[in-house]
Amino acid sequence: MTGRDAEGLDVVVTGLGVTSAFGRGTETLRQALATSRPAFGPVGRFAADRYRTGTAAVLPGSPDLDEELHRVVAEALDQAGLTPRERAQAPLLLGRHADPAVARRPLAAQGKTAVSDTAAELVAACGLREAARTYTNACVAASTALFEAASRIRTGRETRIVVCAGYLVDEDNFALFSAGRALAPDGVLRPFSADRRGLLLGDGVGAVVLESSAAAAARGARPLAVLSGWGMAGDAYHVCQPHPEGLGMARAIGSALAKAGLTATDIGYVNAHGTGTPHNDAAESAALHRALGEWAAGTPVSSTKSLHGHCLEASGMLELAVSLLALRHGELPVNAGYLGPDDACRLDLVLGEPRKADVRHVLSLNAAFGGANTALVVSTP
């Protein structure tokens, strides 16, 4: 059974809300991607002079994650045009980082501060049915939530689901990634490039309304896109390194393509995980060659983390928004920060300026500590 069939259970996207370091709203994100200028700059939220770099992609001021999540969910619901009754039928799936402030509270208070409280508060504020689940599994949290939502709709267990995810750059994670020597000391994120030296963090918050195509059609909603395939697989290799041959990610890609009823030749663009770290980019390149075969050499690829930063638990959601924009506007965003080829990353990278292309299917990839890998296929309606 594929992700697109004749039973009216295609999973469609009918609403989208997003915030990135470029600002709030999908049009703001689209315009920023078109300029190809990264959003990185000095971090002003906390003193960063003792860390490996003082650079990240952040919104001005001190935004509040709960408020930003509420805003993007409201934006997605408004665009979908759901009535109060339809909203009340939809559960919420959330991906977010555990609040680092909780660990500094007294033990008695910590036990009363569940990370899932965010989802419960969003449900109440937005008139949704229930907080179904909260994912905190690092860089695949959002894409795992999307995977679960699509599976529930595709199998008829739900008619529509709201999925949201968010991460705002904070000192706890900044210090953690700096101590792990993962942050790029030169302040530039260079995915798949020679002399790439690590990642840079970024703000990211997003939400989508997913529905069965039959439910969307019944209320006259026009889909923005189809979530046509989804896959997930583990490396079972190392706690913080990907399998060097990309075995888990290749299986995730194969599963997503099979679910969508597509082959490698149908994919017109890959929005890669591409963190700019030597191990990750080489393993992801190997996975693309393993999964797409000869087609990998001619498929446009970019990691937009080079523009908006690595948004950790929100990565899959922000990059889904980027993939939707690429489909709708026929403009593939660049892979910024590039210095030259690396033999371990032989890909058709989008460089210099966005590439015009009539694309019908986009592959969006994410990976996380523990060897977790996800692949999503997003298609034109």
pLDDT at 9: 80
Whether residue 42 is predicted with pLDDT greater than 70 in this model: the reply is yes
Tens digits of residue pLDDT in 117-145: 889 999 999 999 999 999 999 999 999 99
pLDDT at 110: 66
Place of tokens 């979530």: 227
pLDDT at 4: 54
* Amino acid (1-letter code) at residue 44: G
> Rounded to whole angstroms, how far apart are CA atoms 192 and 328?
26
pLDDT at 8: 60
Q: 286: Cβ–Cβ under 8 A, 6 or more apart, which residues?
A: 244, 245, 246, 250, 344
Whether residue 312 is predicted with pLDDT greater than 80 in this model: the reply is yes
Q: Single out the catalytic residue among 70, 243, 273, 289.
A: 273
Tens digits of residue pLDDT in 253-309: 999 999 999 999 999 999 999 999 999 999 999 999 999 999 999 999 999 999 999
pLDDT at 2: 47
pLDDT band at 104 (very low <50, low <70, confident <90, very high): confident
pLDDT at 6: 47
Is the torsion defined by CA of 376, 377, 378, 381 positive or negative?
negative
Whether residue 335 is predicted with pLDDT greater than 50 in this model: the reply is yes
Whether residue 111 is predicted with pLDDT greater than 80 in this model: the reply is no
Percent of the chain scoring above 70 in pLDDT: 95
Among 11-15, 184-188, 229-233, 236-240, whose mean pLDDT is lowest?
236-240
Whether residue 147 is predicted with pLDDT greater than 80 in this model: the reply is yes
Mean pLDDT of the chain: 94
Contact between residue 2 and residue 266 where contact means Cβ atoms under 8 Å apart: no
pLDDT at 7: 55
Among 109-118, 138-147, 359-368, 372-381, whose mean pLDDT is lowest?
109-118
Any catalytic annotation for residue 240?
Answer: no
DSSP state of 199: B
Q: Single out the catalytic residue among 70, 243, 310, 361.
A: 310
Any catalytic annotation for residue 273?
Answer: yes
Q: Single out the catalytic residue among 97, 126, 139, 164.
A: 139
Whether residue 3 is predicted with pLDDT greater than 60 in this model: the reply is no
pLDDT band at 5 (very low <50, low <70, confident <90, very high): low
Any catalytic annotation for residue 97?
Answer: no
